[in-house]
Structure 1
């Protein structure tokens, strides 16, 4: 079978699937704007396409996002057309359509089956638009229109999607009903052999401090430190956490940019805004036990998980972070927000504890109790790891599900392009 993979940051979600399909004997080609020259990776032929064009100055803000996707879609179209002209005709196309690249591929290969990675459909419900009252929508009515425009890319892809795959039930549930019978829920998978407990783990903070399992370590991770992942809530709890836990070290991982949600005021970062808000209430000896590591290589991230005494995870109702499942796989004792994505993988008292996202006082009290309860931490950490091994293990569960999805996709009757 000939398989074409589309991802603007290849391999992305196809990191494990692509080599596995090669091992099964399929011809796998990836088309991406990430590379400048053709190359081969684990048996996958990676071909570049060049993004041409630029955004229109002063374009209506509701169209800016879609115009960017059109630029990527037409650029990928040209790259795909050149590939077709060389004789490549895929049986299956798998694409992460979030950036628009795959919008016109059925026009080139109408007989190919198109499978989409369905990450999220943007909703206008209060839970999505105004979950956090601290950052309210400036105009709910206007935002509903803006979000509808933001979903143009999703809607155009729905017309030609033969099948979809979504990593969690929550994410799949955001898509309209007419998508649902075509979406399979299967997570990308966690390498539980790699992400595992390690009693001898060490996390080097600097030349004077190395943390181990013998230390009391509170961990908190965002891709970027921002409100969507509860950074502001955690920081506001920090003064009291440090006061109650005089021997604890708090380690935070994450960048200074914005992954989701609103940008901070010009010239500022969410990270610094909330540091400035609480710093005056934290004595310097306490502040010296707070460590911002920024973004780190994966092995250092793993060491951080493995030395963690208690891990805090907070999120809006949004895409579930891989880091939560990785923390569970590492056997961490977890205190998380009781938001819908978290409740899909955690059960209160069994494989973690949960608090209301906004209740910083409850966060302080429950974290303090968790750090005092070694038996509960051990029990829930073991249960969390067993849960991930059973339901999200890369090799035994998730990768076979993805391979099966591709095989079933290949058997479908292709949906035609609609005028």
Structure 2
């Protein structure tokens, strides 16, 4: 069979599925912005395309998002036409539609089966508005209209997609009833054989300091440091946390950009805004125990999780981070926000400790309790790993489920002999 993946930053969520299809003897290609020329990756042919924009277009601000998606979709359409004219006819197309590229692929290959990765459907009320009044701004009824326009891309994909795949029930359930029945819930998968506890883990810094499991290490991880992932709440809890934990080192991972939500004021970053807010409350000696690591290589990231005594994870009701699963896999003791979809993964006092997202004092109390109770840390960490191994392991659970989803999508004859992956 022939498969075509669409993802502007391929492989993204398909980093395991695409190679296993290629290993099964199928012809697998991917259209992506990530490469500038044709190349091979784990048996997958990566095909570049470029975006053509008309910078002179004047648009209603509610259409800016959709215009960007249509622009990408047109560019991907032309690249797909060129691929079709070279004789490539995919049986199955698997796309992340979030940036719009796959909008017109049914016009290129009308007989292909199309599956889409359903990350989020935007709702005009909770959970996408009204959760954090500090950043929602004043009540604005037009915000609901703006979010409805943001869903144009989703609705147009409903018309062309045969099936959807969503990583959590919470994310799947944000989608409208018109498409929800076509969505299978299946997480991307965690390599629990690689992500294991390591009592010898240590991490060295440019300053010459090395931290190990002997040190009291608290970790906090975002892709980018911003309110959607509770960075502001964590920073406001930091003065008391440092004051009460005089030996603790706090390791903060995350970039300065914006992944979700509103941008900071021009010329500022959320990271700097909340450092400035709390810095005067923290003595220099305490501040020296706060380490902003930026974005780090994955092997260092795994080591960081392995040496952490307590990991703090906060999020709005939104897309769930892989880092939470990864922390659980290494037997991390976790303090997490009592928000959806975290509660799909963390059961209070069984696989972690849950706190109110906005309650900085409760976060400090829970972190301190775990730091003082190695027995509880061990109990929660082992239960967390068991839960991830049993329900989210890449090779035994998630990848077979994804392959079955592809098999169903391809509508293969169930009597046909199965290949290693189909």
Query: Smaller-chain TM-score range?
Result: over 0.9
Tell me what 2:107 maps to: 107
The whole-number CA distance in structure 2 between the counterparts of 1:288 and 1:6 is: 45
Shift of 1:179: 1.1
Specify the SS of the correspondent of 1:358.
coil
CA distance in 1, matches of 2:203, 2:139: 46
Structure 1 unaligned spans of 5+: 414-419
Deviation, 1:139, is: 4.3
Deviations 1:290-347 (A, max 9, x none): 1000010001111110000000000000000000000101110000000011101010
Is it true that 1:359 corresponds to 2:359 in the alignment? yes
**Within 5 A, what are the aligned runs for 1:285-300?**
285-300=285-300
- State yes or no: 1:54 paired with 2:54: yes
Q: 1:394 to 1:55 in 2, by over 3 A?
A: farther
TM-score for both structures, normalised by structure 1: 0.97
Structure 1 pair 264–28 and aligned structure 2 pair: CA distance change class (3 A): same
Within the alignment, does 1:73 sit opposite 2:64 as a pair? no
Within 2, Cα distance between the matches of 1:30 and 1:242?
48
**Paired position in structure 2 for 1:223:** 223
1:374 aligned partner: 374
Q: How far off is 1:205 after superposition?
A: 2.4
What corresponds to 1:164 in structure 2?
164
Q: How does 1:230-379 map to 2 (within 5 A)?
A: 230-379=230-379
Asked if 2 retains the 8 angstrom alpha-carbon contact of 1:90 and 1:112, the reply is: yes
Shift, 1:35, TM fit: 1.5
Which ranges of structure 2 fall in alignment gaps of 5 or more residues?
A: 414-422
| Alignment correspondent of 1:196 | 196
Q: Distance in 1 between matches of 2:311 and 2:39?
A: 40
In 1, the alpha carbon distance for the partners of 2:5 and 2:86 equals 17
Matches of residues 208-219 of structure 1 in structure 2 within 5 Å?
208-219=208-219
RMSD: 1.2
Q: Is the 8 A contact 1:225 1:231 kept in 2?
A: yes
Distance 1:412 1:69, change over 3 A: farther
Tell me the alpha carbon deviations over residues 208-265 of structure 1, each in whole angstroms, 9 at most, x when there is no partner. 3111001000000000111000000000000000111111001100011111001111
Say how many residue pairs are matched: 413
Shift of the alpha carbon at 1:282? 0.6
- The question of whether the paired residues in 1 share the 8 Å contact of 2:127 and 2:318 is answered with no
Corresponding position of 1:416: none
What's the CA shift for 1:189?
0.4
Please give the secondary structure, in 2, of the residue aligned with 1:253.
strand
Cα displacement (A) at 1:57: 4.7
CA distance in 2, matches of 1:264, 1:152: 26
Once residues 259 and 56 of structure 1 are traced to their aligned partners in structure 2, the CA distance between those partners, rounded to angstroms, is 26
8 Å Cα contact 2:77/2:104 also seen in 1: yes
Whether contact under 8 Å (1:331, 1:382) holds in the other structure is yes
Cα distance, 1:44 vs structure 2:
1.1
For the 8 Å contact 1:55–1:64, the answer to whether it is kept is no
Give distance in 2, aligned partners of 1:389 and 1:138.
44
Quote the offset at 1:365 in angstroms. 1.2
SS in structure 1 opposite 2:141? helix
Which runs of 4 or more aligned residues in structure 1 lie more than 6 Å from their structure 2 counterparts after TM superposition?
Answer: none
**Partner Cα distance (2:379, 2:262) in 1:** 38
Instruction: Tell me the distance in 1 between the aligned counterparts of 2:36 and 2:348.
Output: 48
TM-score (norm 2): 0.96
Q: d(CA) in 2 for partners of 1:37 and 1:127?
A: 41
